[in-house]
């Protein structure tokens, strides 16, 4: 098999093999940790530290790439079908921030779906931008939120001609995916930008069974967490852009401002290697994972027991396709919550990506083996036996769609102004907060989607949703009181 070129990774290896003497950062100097007693740190970290260098004439500079990083980014753009690709060492968070700050000046308006990652809300605050939030569609079977309808997006574009862009999240955390081709055509008909947070779809478009990627569908820019479903290190991500509408110079300028001036070379090298694996093996790279994920789904369906999964070929009014590498598992009897099911799986050595009040989400790797699948099936079989030994329940309820306030149409929604300006606030019991404006973001994590953001009015449905999540074991970011008995609100 022909050896494929990983320019950045190869440059780092060549540099180390010259036997360099380091008089530069980082302080570990190629992993020179005290070897006395062969410490755990030495055994685990020394190998990767050999590639952990700084900007040298032999390594290139992420903020002004001219050689190996520049070549690696060009190869990545070609692999993923973009005109230009930027390496990210701060995860998709840095890519989302860069898109919003690169596109929006203070006071500019952007159309955003309501169920976005907290990084999008933070980007709006940093930019001082305004947003019109479109409500997502809700899947009937699960109660999970997906993307706004095409009709709502079109109506918003007609009502707000000053909008700079439409920003969507696709897929959602559960792998529910909308084909964005029609959306891209619509947005471009209004001469606006389509920006996509595709954090969970780095593998999209790379196997016949996978959904189409946002770039393939015609989006102007897409952010992908390469570390989530490909073989990059954690925090390794990519920002792909194409077309004449996207302000590339502005985005490059913002990336240089928000990304570290001392970026991780191991993370960047892992992005290079993740691309090489796709280039070398093409769709075959994903076939083991696709096959074992399908085998697990069939095993659950054939068992016809308490545990249930979303079917990969399932299509609803809320989404077009389910990611084959994402398993959404739940107890149809309602005996245990998603959080409890996650804990039980951990007891058998199977660690899931996330849980909510009903579901557990399992992210299938591209190389997940039958041995991995058998271990999970064994765990599920034991959990099934335990569920059947419990008193009968009336069945599992849907996830509350109270996550996202109201069901307003675009004509009923008003632009929301974001600012970092501090306002007077105080804490009150959550049960007394209906009608108050929240002074903090309440973010169940994962998935990192705010239930409420600062300045948003608390409704009875939202309070009920927050209380239910807290009672069933959810962890929160943003909120000072993680029990969610109290919440910060702006003074009237």
The CATH code of the domain at 422-490 is 3.90.105.10
Q: Where in the chain is the domain with CATH 3.90.105.10?
A: 422-490
Predicted pLDDT at 110: 98
**What average pLDDT does the chain have?**
91
Spatial distance between the Cα atoms of 456 and 121, rounded to a whole number of angstroms? 12
Query: Residue 8 contacts by C-beta under 8 Å, 6 or more apart in sequence?
Result: 60, 68, 69, 71, 72, 265, 268, 269, 272
The 10s digit of each residue's pLDDT in 240-260 is 999 999 999 999 999 999 999
Query: Residue 374: what are its φ and ψ, rounded to 5°?
Result: -65, -35
The rounded percent of the chain whose pLDDT value lies above 90 is: 72
Examine residue 219 and say whether the peptide bond preceding it is cis (omega within 30 degrees of 0).
Answer: no
Query: Residue 360 contacts by C-beta under 8 Å, 6 or more apart in sequence?
Result: 328, 329, 330, 338, 341, 342, 345, 352, 354
**Looking at residues 367-385, what average pLDDT do you find?**
96
**Looking at residues 102-114, what average pLDDT do you find?**
97
**Looking at residues 68-72, what average pLDDT do you find?**
97
Spatial distance between the Cα atoms of 218 and 347, rounded to a whole number of angstroms? 44
Select from 3.90.1150.10, 3.40.50.1980, 3.60.90.10, 3.40.50.720 the CATH code of 285-388: 3.90.1150.10
Predicted pLDDT at 34: 59
Q: How many CA atoms lie within 13 A of 48 on its CB side?
A: 12
Predicted pLDDT at 408: 62
Long-range contacts from 182-186, C-beta under 8 angstroms, 24+ separation: 182/150, 183/150, 183/153, 183/217, 184/217, 184/218, 184/219, 185/218, 186/150, 186/153, 186/154, 186/157
Predicted pLDDT at 79: 97
**Looking at residues 405-418, what average pLDDT do you find?**
73
Which of 208-212, 300-304, 377-381, 413-417 has the weakest average pLDDT? Answer: 413-417
Q: Where in the chain is the domain with CATH 3.40.640.10?
A: 7-282
Predicted pLDDT at 37: 42
337 pLDDT higher than 50: yes
CATH classification (class only), 7-282: alpha beta
Spatial distance between the Cα atoms of 19 and 162, rounded to a whole number of angstroms? 58
Q: Where in the chain is the domain with CATH 3.90.1150.10?
A: 285-388
pTM of the model: 0.91
Predicted pLDDT at 321: 95
Identify which of 174, 178, 169 has the alpha carbon closest to the alpha carbon of residue 199: 169
């Amino acid at each position: 098999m022909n050896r494929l070129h990983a320019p950045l990774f190869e440059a780092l290896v060549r540099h180390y093999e010259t036997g360099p003497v380091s008089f530069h950062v980082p302080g570990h100097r190629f992993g020179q940790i005290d070897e006395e007693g062969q410490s755990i740190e030495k055994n685990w970290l020394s190998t990767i530290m050999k590639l952990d260098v700084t900007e040298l004439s032999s390594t290139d500079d992420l903020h002004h790439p001219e050689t190996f990083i520049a070549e690696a980014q060009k190869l990545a753009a070609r692999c993923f079908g973009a005109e230009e690709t930027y390496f990210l060492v701060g995860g998709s968070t840095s890519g989302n921030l860069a898109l919003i700050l690169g596109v929006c000046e203070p006071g500019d308006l952007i159309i955003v779906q309501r169920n976005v990652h907290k990084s999008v809300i933070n980007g709006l605050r940093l930019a001082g931008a305004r947003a019109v939030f479109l409500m997502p569609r809700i899947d009937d079977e699960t109660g999970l939120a997906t993307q706004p309808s095409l009709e709502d997006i079109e109506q918003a574009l007609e009502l707000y001609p000053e909008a700079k862009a439409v920003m969507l999240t696709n897929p959602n955390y559960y792998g529910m995916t909308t084909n964005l081709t029609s959306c891209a055509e619509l947005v471009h008909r209004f001469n606006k930008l389509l920006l996509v947070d595709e954090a969970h779809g780095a593998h999209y478009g790379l196997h016949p069974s996978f959904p189409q990627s946002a770039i393939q569908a015609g989006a102007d820019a897409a952010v992908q967490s390469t570390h989530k479903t490909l073989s990059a290190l954690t925090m390794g991500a990519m920002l792909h852009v194409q077309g004449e509408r996207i302000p590339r110079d502005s985005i490059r300028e913002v990336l240089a401002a928000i990304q570290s001036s001392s970026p991780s070379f191991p993370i960047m090298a892992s992005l290079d290697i993740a691309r090489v694996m796709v280039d070398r093996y093409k769709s075959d790279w994903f076939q083991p994972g696709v096959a074992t994920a399908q085998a697990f789904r069939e095993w659950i369906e054939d068992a016809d027991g308490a545990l249930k999964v979303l079917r990969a070929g399932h299509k609803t009014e809320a989404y077009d396709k389910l990611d084959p590498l994402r398993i959404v598992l739940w107890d149809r009897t309602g005996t245990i919550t998603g959080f409890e099911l996650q804990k039980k799986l951990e007891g058998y050595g199977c660690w899931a990506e996330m849980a909510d009040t009903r579901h557990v989400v399992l992210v299938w790797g591209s190389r997940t083996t039958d041995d991995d699948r058998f271990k999970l099936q064994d765990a599920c079989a034991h959990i099934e036996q335990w569920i059947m030994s419990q008193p009968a329940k009336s069945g599992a309820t849907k996830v509350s769609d109270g996550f996202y306030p109201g069901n307003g149409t675009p004509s009923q929604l008003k632009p929301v102004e974001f600012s970092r300006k501090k306002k007077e606030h105080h804490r009150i019991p959550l049960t007394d907060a209906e009608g108050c404006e929240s002074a903090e973001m309440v973010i169940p994590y994962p998935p990192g989607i705010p239930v409420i953001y600062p300045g948003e009015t608390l409704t009875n449905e939202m309070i009920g949703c927050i209380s239910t999540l807290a009672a069933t074991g959810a962890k929160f970011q943003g909120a000072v009181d993680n029990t969610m008995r109290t919440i910060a609100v702006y003074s009237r």
